């Protein structure tokens, strides 16, 4: 999700003229930076790895603290627990954002398998616990929502199998951080290629593990999708920069690369997501009614699958925006940050690292929240086999639902 964007932000040389005039720092991608390295070597500070890693940890901690604060602030308005429902109104963007923000909380990674099983047992026994609150419980509904948050962040909603920690939404910021810092430290093309491969591989696996898993996909399809997705994303990220670098003089290339990094990142993220998720379109996804009961057991809908894949791909296209624009805007607009980096240019990379972690910690749930995870679709837009179904009362079913994936 962060490839050309992170590379663009992190590898921003701080020029003497920018420091003197207090203007926005000049930017370049790694390809252009390598060509003008000799000219900038006297004024471009080395990357402070230790401080950048500390900034990364501080950013992850801040995201976790923000999630804890949001949970605490919204606790007085906590609704009655519903195992099939959500704590926040999914009919509004702010409700979906709050739900996704708490789902992307990095602190959810610290819970052990035993704690997840305990949380799942609480959710499964919710009716009894609501009628007979445990001793010492001040708000059983809030405790049940928190248990559900732990379960939902760990177990896939379709399979009930634990998602590996690096590929959970709650794990993306802390696990992607070291990859981004490694890209900062990379000074050669092979190193940059390796870490971008690692980044795009993680993106592909995040997309895979958070897909709709109600239909089977063969191992051959998984390997094929992974290879094409990572190859296409890296080709976009490096191909465009290489073309510009070879077609124009270094100064012109540097100016142009400031504008192509964002669209290149959008294209890479979208391609990665679409290619990994596209097998769902051919196999289809299961549908369920408003009570969560699967309809036409064993059958799937390609129409719903297409809608889900397209929506998820669109959200990935939006993801680079806050990560790309917010850190440099804050670096230039917030006076204390600007003065600090002017006095000590070596702090520019650690501060950018911190701001990027914060931006991603907020931007990820915000872009996912654009579309509801549980999507609805009218039956007259589905395949014919879904258009004459009736509910338990014999009434025609007008809408069905499916897990869009994340």
With 0-12 / 13-18 / 19 or more C-beta atoms within 10 angstroms meaning exposed / middle / buried, residue 257 is buried
Higher pLDDT, 132 or 203: 132
What pLDDT, on the 0 to 100 scale, is given for residue 101?
92
What pLDDT, on the 0 to 100 scale, is given for residue 336?
85
Mean pLDDT of all residues belonging to the chain: 78
| Mean pLDDT lowest among 69-78, 251-260, 328-337, 389-398 | 251-260
Higher pLDDT, 215 or 283: 283
Read off the pLDDT band of 181 (50, 70, 90): low
Q: What is the pLDDT of residues 193-237, one digit of tens each?
A: 787 788 778 877 887 887 776 666 677 777 777 787 777 767 776
Q: How far is CA 125 from the centre of its chain?
A: 32
What number is the average pLDDT over the span 182-198?
A: 70
Task: Say yes or no to pLDDT of 12 above 60.
Answer: no
What number is the average pLDDT over the span 184-200?
A: 71
Phi, psi of 334 (to 5 degrees): -85, 115
Per DSSP, what are the bridge partners of residue 375? 402
Rounded to a whole number of angstroms, the CA Rg of the chain reads 23
What pLDDT, on the 0 to 100 scale, is given for residue 48?
76
- Contact call for residues 321 and 363 (beta carbons, < 8 A): yes
What pLDDT, on the 0 to 100 scale, is given for residue 314?
85
């Amino acid at each position: 999700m962060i490839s050309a964007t992170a590379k663009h932000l992190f590898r921003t040389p701080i020029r003497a003229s920018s420091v003197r005039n207090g203007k926005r720092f000049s930017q370049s991608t790694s390809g252009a930076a390598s060509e003008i390295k000799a000219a900038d070597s006297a004024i471009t500070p080395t990357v402070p790895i230790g401080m950048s890693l500390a900034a990364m940890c501080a950013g992850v901690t801040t995201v976790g603290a923000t999630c804890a604060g949001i949970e605490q602030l919204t606790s007085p308005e906590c609704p009655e627990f519903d195992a099939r429902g959500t704590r926040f109104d999914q009919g509004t963007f702010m409700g979906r954002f709050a739900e996704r923000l708490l789902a992307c909380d990095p602190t959810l990674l610290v819970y052990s398998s035993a704690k997840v099983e305990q949380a799942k047992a609480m959710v499964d026994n919710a009716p009894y616990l609501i009628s007979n609150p445990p001793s010492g419980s001040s708000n059983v509904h809030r405790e049940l929502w928190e248990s559900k948050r732990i379960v939902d962040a760990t177990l896939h909603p379709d399979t009930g199998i634990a998602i590996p920690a690096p590929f959970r939404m709650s794990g993306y910021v802390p696990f992607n951080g070291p990859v981004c810092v490694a890209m900062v430290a990379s000074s050669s093309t092979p190193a940059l290629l390796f870490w971008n491969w690692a980044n795009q591989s993680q993106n592909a696996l995040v997309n895979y593990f958070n897909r709709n898993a109600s239909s089977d996909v063969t191992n051959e399809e998984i390997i094929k999708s992974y290879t094409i997705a990572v190859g296409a994303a890296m080709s976009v990220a490096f191909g465009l920069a290489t073309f510009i670098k070879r077609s124009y003089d270094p100064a012109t290339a540097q100016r142009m690369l400031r504008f192509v990094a964002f669209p290149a990142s959008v294209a890479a993220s979208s391609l990665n997501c679409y290619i990994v998720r596209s097998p769902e379109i051919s196999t289809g996804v299961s549908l369920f009614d408003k009570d969560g009961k699967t309809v036409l057991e064993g059958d799937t809908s390609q129409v719903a699958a297409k809608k889900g894949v397209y929506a998820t791909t669109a959200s990935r296209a939006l993801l680079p925006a806050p990560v790309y624009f917010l850190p440099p805007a804050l670096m230039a607009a917030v006076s204390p940050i600007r003065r600090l980096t002017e006095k000590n240019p070596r702090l520019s990379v650690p501060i950018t690292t911190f701001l990027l972690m914060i931006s991603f910690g907020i931007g990820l749930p915000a872009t996912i929240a654009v579309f509801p995870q549980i999507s609805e679709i009218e039956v007259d837009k589905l395949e014919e086999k879904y258009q004459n179904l009736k509910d338990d009362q014999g009434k025609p079913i007008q809408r069905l639902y499916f897990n869009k994936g994340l």
